Amino acid sequence: MVDSWEAKQSNYQRTLTVLARISSSVCESKSIPRESLRVILVCGSDLLESFGIPGVWIREQVRAICRDYGVVCIRREGKDIERNNIKVVDELVPNQISSTRVRECISRRLSIKYLTPDDVIEYVKQQSLYLDSTNK
């Protein structure tokens, strides 16, 4: 799901900022009581691996994401993940489709048909998402 607030931002938003925004907006809407709400980062093992790459993440933000929200990681085929406080879920049907690869395809102007639903493709086109400034 692409959060409409996040999609309207002109610059990249840090993951911790987006998680906090989603949590507060759901609570403000009063659709779910705060005590019943749990916002969790769901990611592929490629993103989880990037937590350990120097310069990619701010260490304190990684700690805050794990401590305050939690992480559910979908293990990609051939990836071994052992982390504390992170739930790992095996893929039922192995595939190599990831949000990172979808964004790379879009930035290279390659088709993402059959990788994501048509309404998502249309939304990405309408909002000109994931195109660098030279491709817009």
pTM of the model: 0.61
Residue 81: phi and psi, rounded to 5, are -125, 125
* 6-90: CATH class: alpha beta
pLDDT in tens, the chain (136 residues): 566 777 777 777 889 998 998 888 887 877 777 788 888 998 888 888 888 899 999 999 999 999 999 898 887 666 666 666 677 776 666 667 778 888 888 888 888 888 888 888 888 888 888 886 454 4
* Tokens linked to 81: 């993940």
| E runs forming strands in the chain | 41-44, 71-75, 86-90
Single-letter amino acid, residue 79? K
Provide the residue ranges of all domains of the chain, joining segments of one domain with +: 6-90, 97-135
